[in-house]
Structures are given as C-alpha cells and as structure tokens.
Amino acid sequence: MIGAYTIGKKAVTFGYKRYGVPGAVASGGAALVGYLIVRRALKSSTSDGNVDSAIDAGEIQSAVEEKGLGAVTDKGTLDRAINEEEVGSTFDMNDVQSSAEEETDEFADSAGEGDSSAES
C-alpha cells in the first residue's frame, strides 16, 4: 500500500507528462482528494484510527484518472481499494460509501463557491 504523498507524486507526474502543468495540477489534486475522501470515510466508519495501510491508493488514483472524482463513491472502487483484513475492526461498506458521497458533495460545493465560471 502507498500513502498520500506517493499517490500525489505519481498523479502529478502522470498529469504533467500527458497535459503539462495544468494536467499535473488537475490530476494530482483530484487523486489526492479522492484518497483523502476515502480515508476520512473509512475512519468515520471504523473504531480504529489507523486505516492508511488498508487503502490501496493506486486503485483510487486509477479510478479517479479514468472516471473523475465521483469514482470514489462507487461501491466497486471502494471494494477494490479497501483491504478489509487490514482495517482491524468491523465496518459497513454502505456507511463508507455514503460518507464518501457526502465528502465528495461537500468538496464539490466548496470548490465551486468561488468559481466565476459557474453561473446559474
């Protein structure tokens, strides 16, 4: 399993090679945000505080690059990205999925607040 720094670094490198500086910022930011959303959702659904080793950051990075940030709310992505044996306590995948959806919605709302291109 790899951590947040590694996922951000790999995503930035991928985005830079493919689209230059704007791609590096976009892909690195989206992959890192996706990882953090899954980590927060998993932490809120378990009693164990250390869930980093249970999350496959590479799987999240791939899903976000293919389908966008909304991919972290997909049950299939969460099943592939979370190693249930590594979590250390029981959790409900539906709770993790709904928490990830809430986190994604919250991020999308806060990211769009200052955006002048998003007009009603």
Main-chain phi, psi angles of 82, to 5 degrees: -110, 120
Report the run of H or E that residue 7 belongs to, with start and end: helix 4-19
Confidence of residue 10 (pLDDT cuts 50, 70, 90): confident
* Tens digits of residue pLDDT in 53-84: 788 878 888 888 888 878 888 888 888 888 88
Query: 81: closest CA among 38, 40, 111?
Result: 38
Burial of residue 114, with CB atoms counted within 10 A of its CB: 0-12 exposed, 13-18 middle, 19 or more buried: exposed
* pTM more than 0.75: no
Confidence of residue 114 (pLDDT cuts 50, 70, 90): very low
